[in-house]
Amino acid sequence: MGAAVSALTVSAGNAAEARSLRRHCTGLKIFATLAGLLFAYSAVIQLNDPDPIRWFSLYAAAAVLSATSVFVSIPRSLFVGLALVAGLWATTLLPSVLSVRSFTGSEEERELAGLIFVVVTSVALWLSGVRRGGAQADRSPLSGDT
């Protein structure tokens, strides 16, 4: 009888863990989808910018990675690469933004905020499903093949 209760407890624990994992993955999918849509919108409005190519490219890459990660496995190195590019780019804007001493909503402040959002989103999607070892360690947790 004790073994049956123990097996039931383990089974119930696994079911609760599975429900928790499904909720976690659903939340990640919603986050990635919304981020992808926001980045796509940001890419489109950059077409009116004086230097549209680099901003459009950054936001389009973020949109594609975020939205695609919902459906297929994306190598985590792509998220890391995007975060590094946006992070390094942000460091070039930091001195001019910090020298003002008050935040006025200038173009450079908005650009910095966009770069920070790309970094945060990329890192969040990269870290969201880090697993230990094996071939799965470089796969996206959102694709469902975890």
Q: Over the stretch 35-85, which tens digit does the pLDDT of each residue have?
A: 999 999 999 999 998 889 999 999 999 999 999 988 888 898 999 999 999
Q: Phi-psi category of 64—alpha, beta or left, where left has phi over 0 and alpha has psi -120 to 50?
A: alpha
Name residue 27's amino acid: G
143 pLDDT exceeds 70? no
Res 136: pLDDT: 43
Q: In this predicted model, which residue has the larger pLDDT, 15 or 53?
A: 53
Mean pLDDT, the chain, whole residue set: 80
Task: Please give the structure tokens belonging to residue 31.
Answer: 């986050």
32 pLDDT exceeds 70? yes
Smallest CA-to-CA distance from 118 within 139, 143, 93 is with 93
| Type and span of the H or E element at 125 | helix 107-127
Q: Compute CA distances 75 → 8, 40, 78, whole Å.
A: 38, 20, 6
Res 106: pLDDT: 84
pLDDT-based confidence at residue 134 (cuts at 50, 70, 90): very low
pLDDT-based confidence at residue 7 (cuts at 50, 70, 90): very low
Q: What average pLDDT score do residues 119-132 get?
A: 77
Residues 43, 59 contacting (CB under 8 angstroms): yes
pLDDT-based confidence at residue 100 (cuts at 50, 70, 90): confident
Cα 26 to Cα 70: distance, rounded to the nearest angstrom = 10
Instruction: For residue 87, count other CB atoms closer than 10 A to its CB.
Output: 16
